[in-house]
């Protein structure tokens, strides 16, 4: 099988985990990386000595051996980098949020069509095996038609180190831009994709962080399916503490959170140095640690997404430690998802493997792409609508929604023992 030769643009915190996934997948070859920061470049070449290292995006895009680019640069640059990469003939996976404005997302959709390349919107957390299995069970009709989806999360998102652009909503800063797309992409996957309207609220609750750290929204699908999302990132309570098997491997302790909150209020944190530790080559860079080994099985963990609850006419779906609990007319049944897990170097959150598998299948094997530019634009439209609705205190009607084809993940059905209905 021909491998997909990838270059990574932006070797920061998010990319550190995706690089591990690329490195672990035989169908992907990580051939190059680029970052403006020399520390990241040096970490990258230490970890991947066979790959080429560049300073700028332009040099990376000129590399003829690179088929495709993983864009992990800051949000404000996603559109510019994606369009330039596509103009150079490269296929693209872009980190979430796909862009900062709908106009930029339009340019990305157009560029993908004009240059005849694939752009996938990498909303990685929506693609966990738990969410994908839930979707196939919903589609099987086992517990009737889907009626409601709820995804609520409590994390310490606001306490994590931030660069100045992450503190500027104009540049894609704030929890709605950063975390909204994960939850919205998940519920769109489960509900079929076609949202009708959004009523949202977002909150900035502390002067020490001039960005939103909370949002909630009611999103209704065209067929009347209801959904709610909520993310409280202020760090007073962690959703993960509700689940006895979950250890927060990368999270802060209660004492850490109290100290970070005090330091933020006093303005004494060196966030630039803190963040650098998590980037490629930094002290907490996962690429360097024992965590680099792909593992399976790994248990469910709410991480930043939160638990996904699906209500159907004749039952419920809830995540469980090793799979799902399907509550139906005859009582609950446990569904073990371990046999469907692929060894993943990043069970703790990034979950890049599913999008990379789709990418390889589309670019190299000519299979359909599902998380396309138009799909990503629809998730961005709903994320922006949460902010617009919050500002204007009214319901926003959506116009750019697209459906997820039934064929997506049909191959999972035999493993789940369901027949698509
Ligand atoms: N999917 C996930 O779970 C996940 C997790 C974390 C971050 N992310 C996403 O990754 C992106 C980056 O976030 P981060 O937290 O990793 O930030 P970061 O600051 O750690 O990483 C960005 C990197 O891009 C580099 N960079 C900036 N401008 C550049 C340019 N013009 N050319 C080349 N390199 C450039 C920076 O030097 C830095 O190393 C964001 O879009 C974020 O939403 C996704």
Q: Is the pLDDT of residue 307 over 80?
A: yes
Tell me the average pLDDT of the chain: 94
Tell me the CA–centroid distance for residue 49 and ligand 1, in Å.
21
Q: Under a CB-based contact definition with an 8 Å cutoff, are residues 317 and 324 in contact?
A: yes
State residue 345's pLDDT score. 82
State residue 293's pLDDT score. 77
Q: Is the CB of 74 under 6 A from ligand 1?
A: yes
Tell me the CA–centroid distance for residue 275 and ligand 1, in Å.
11
Tell me the CA–centroid distance for residue 111 and ligand 1, in Å.
22
Q: How confident is the model at residue 379 (pLDDT cuts 50, 70, 90)?
A: very high
DSSP state of 252: P
Q: Is the CB of 73 under 6 A from ligand 1?
A: yes
State the average pLDDT over residues 205-228: 97
Q: Which residue has the tokens 């970490």?
A: 43
Q: Which atom of ligand 1 is nearest to the CA of 278?
A: 20
Mutation pick for ligand 1 pocket among 17, 34, 72 (CB with most ligand atoms within 8 Å): 72
* Cβ neighbours of residue 413 closer than 8 Å, sequence gap 6 or more: 136, 140, 419, 420
Q: Is the pLDDT of residue 283 over 90?
A: no
What is d(CA 200, CA 228) in angstroms, rounded to the nearest whole number? Answer: 10
**Exposure b/e, 72-88, CB count within 10 A at least 16 = b:** bbbbbbbbbbbbbbbeb
State the average pLDDT over residues 310-334: 97
Tell me the CA–centroid distance for residue 232 and ligand 1, in Å.
22
Q: Is the CB of 192 under 6 A from ligand 1?
A: no
Tell me the CA–centroid distance for residue 164 and ligand 1, in Å.
13
Tell me the CA–centroid distance for residue 72 and ligand 1, in Å.
4
Tell me the CA–centroid distance for residue 75 and ligand 1, in Å.
8
**CB atoms inside a 10 Å sphere around CB 284:** 15
What is d(CA 82, CA 96) in angstroms, rounded to the nearest whole number? Answer: 12
Q: Is the pLDDT of residue 247 over 70?
A: no
Q: Is the CB of 182 under 6 A from ligand 1?
A: no
What is d(CA 274, CA 270) in angstroms, rounded to the nearest whole number? Answer: 6
Mutation pick for ligand 1 pocket among 74, 99, 185 (CB with most ligand atoms within 8 Å): 74
Phi and psi, residue 30, nearest 5°: -85, 105
State residue 291's pLDDT score. 46
What is d(CA 291, CA 322) in angstroms, rounded to the nearest whole number? Answer: 20
Strands 214-221 and 195-203: antiparallel
* Cβ neighbours of residue 360 closer than 8 Å, sequence gap 6 or more: 4, 25, 27, 28
Q: Is the CB of 172 under 6 A from ligand 1?
A: no
**Measuring from atom 24 of ligand 1, which residue has the nearest CA?**
10
pLDDT tens digits, 105-147: 999 999 999 999 999 999 889 999 999 999 999 999 999 999 9
- 162-169 long-range Cβ contacts below 8 angstroms, 24+ apart: 162/271, 162/275, 163/74, 163/271, 163/272, 163/275, 165/74, 165/75, 165/76, 166/74, 166/211, 167/209, 167/210, 167/211, 168/211, 169/211, 169/212, 169/387
Helix (H) or strand (E) holding 16: helix 13-24
State residue 290's pLDDT score. 46
Q: Is the pLDDT of residue 95 over 90?
A: yes
Residue 149 bridge partners (DSSP): 227, 310
What is d(CA 20, CA 288) in angstroms, rounded to the nearest whole number? Answer: 10
What is d(CA 378, CA 198) in angstroms, rounded to the nearest whole number? Answer: 12
Using left for φ > 0, alpha for ψ between -120 and 50, and beta otherwise, residue 75 falls in: alpha
Helix ranges, 69-174 (H): 78-87, 102-114, 129-140
User: What is the dihedral angle through the alpha carbons of 378, 382, 385, 389, rounded to the nearest 10 degrees?
Assistant: 150
Q: Under a CB-based contact definition with an 8 Å cutoff, are residues 31 and 7 in contact?
A: yes
Tell me the CA–centroid distance for residue 241 and ligand 1, in Å.
28
Q: How confident is the model at residue 177 (pLDDT cuts 50, 70, 90)?
A: very high
Q: Is the CB of 348 under 6 A from ligand 1?
A: no
Q: Is the pLDDT of residue 350 over 60?
A: no
Q: Which of 18-27, 106-115, 172-181, 226-235 has the lowest mean pLDDT?
A: 18-27
**CB atoms inside a 10 Å sphere around CB 135:** 22
State the average pLDDT over residues 379-408: 98
State residue 289's pLDDT score. 61
CA separation (Å) from 72 to 60, 121, 143, 383?
A: 13, 12, 39, 19
Q: Is the pLDDT of residue 5 over 90?
A: yes
Q: Under a CB-based contact definition with an 8 Å cutoff, are residues 182 and 125 in contact?
A: yes
- 24-27 long-range Cβ contacts below 8 angstroms, 24+ apart: 24/294, 24/343, 24/344, 24/345, 24/353, 25/353, 25/356, 25/357, 25/360, 27/1, 27/3, 27/357, 27/360, 27/364
Q: Is the pLDDT of residue 53 over 90?
A: yes
**Measuring from atom 34 of ligand 1, which residue has the nearest CA?**
35
Q: Is the CB of 96 under 6 A from ligand 1?
A: yes
Q: Is the pLDDT of residue 276 over 70?
A: yes
Q: Is the pLDDT of residue 259 over 60?
A: yes
| pLDDT above 90 as % of the chain | 85
Tell me the CA–centroid distance for residue 160 and ligand 1, in Å.
14
Choose among 109, 117, 10: nearest CA to 359: 117
Q: Which atom of ligand 1 is nearest to the CA of 123?
A: 1
State pTM to two decimals.
0.97
Tell me the CA–centroid distance for residue 196 and ligand 1, in Å.
31
Q: Which atom of ligand 1 is nearest to the CA of 81?
A: 31
What is d(CA 408, CA 358) in angstroms, rounded to the nearest whole number? Answer: 10
What is d(CA 124, CA 376) in angstroms, rounded to the nearest whole number? Answer: 12
Q: Under a CB-based contact definition with an 8 Å cutoff, are residues 308 and 389 in contact?
A: no
Residue 146 bridge partners (DSSP): 312
State residue 348's pLDDT score. 63
Q: Which residue has the tokens 């994320």?
A: 383
């Amino acid at each position: 099988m021909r491998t997909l030769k990838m270059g990574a643009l932006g070797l920061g915190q998010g990319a550190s985990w995706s690089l591990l996934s690329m490195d672990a997948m035989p169908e992907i070859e990580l051939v190059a990386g680029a970052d403006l920061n020399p520390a990241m470049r040096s970490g990258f070449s230490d970890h991947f000595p066979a790959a080429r290292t560049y300073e700028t995006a332009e040099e990376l895009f000129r590399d003829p051996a690179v088929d495709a680019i993983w864009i992990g640069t800051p949000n404000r640059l996603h559109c510019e980098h994606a369009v330039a990469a596509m103009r150079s003939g490269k296929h693209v996976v872009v980190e979430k949020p796909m862009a900062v404005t709908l106009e930029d997302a339009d340019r990305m959709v157009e560029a993908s069509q004009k240059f005849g390349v694939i752009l996938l919107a990498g909303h990685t957390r929506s693609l966990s095996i738990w969410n994908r299995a839930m979707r196939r069970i919903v589609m099987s009709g086992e517990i009737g038609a889907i009626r409601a989806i709820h995804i609520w999360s409590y994390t310490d998102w606001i306490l994590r180190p931030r660069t100045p652009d992450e503190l500027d909503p104009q540049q894609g800063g704030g929890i709605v831009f950063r975390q909204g797309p994960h939850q919205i992409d998940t519920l769109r996957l489960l509900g079929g994709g076609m949202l009708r309207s959004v009523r949202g609220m977002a909150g900035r609750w502390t002067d020490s962080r001039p960005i939103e750290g909370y949002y909630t929204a009611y999103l209704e699908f065209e067929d009347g399916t209801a959904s709610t999302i909520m993310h409280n990132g202020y760090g007073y309570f962690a959703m993960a503490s509700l689940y006895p098997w979950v250890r927060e491997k990368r999270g802060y302790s209660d004492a850490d959170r109290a100290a970070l909150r005090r330091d933020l209020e006093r303005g004494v944190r060196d966030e630039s140095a803190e963040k650098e530790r998590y980037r490629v080559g930094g002290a907490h860079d996962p690429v360097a640690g024992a965590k680099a080994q792909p593992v399976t099985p790994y248990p469910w963990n709410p991480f930043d997404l939160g638990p996904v609850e699906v209500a159907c006419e004749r039952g419920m779906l809830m995540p469980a430690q090793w799979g799902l609990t399907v509550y139906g007319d005859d009582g609950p049944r446990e569904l073990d998802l371990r046999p469907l897990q692929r060894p993943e170097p990043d069970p703790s959150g990034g979950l890049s493997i599913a999008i990379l598998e789709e990418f390889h299948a589309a670019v190299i094997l000519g299979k359909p792409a599902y998380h396309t530019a138009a799909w990503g634009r629809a998730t961005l439209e709903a994320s922006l609508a949460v902010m617009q609705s919050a500002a204007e205190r009214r319901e926003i009607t959506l116009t750019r929604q697209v459906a997820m084809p039934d064929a997506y993940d049909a191959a999972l059905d035999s493993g789940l023992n369901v027949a698509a209905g």
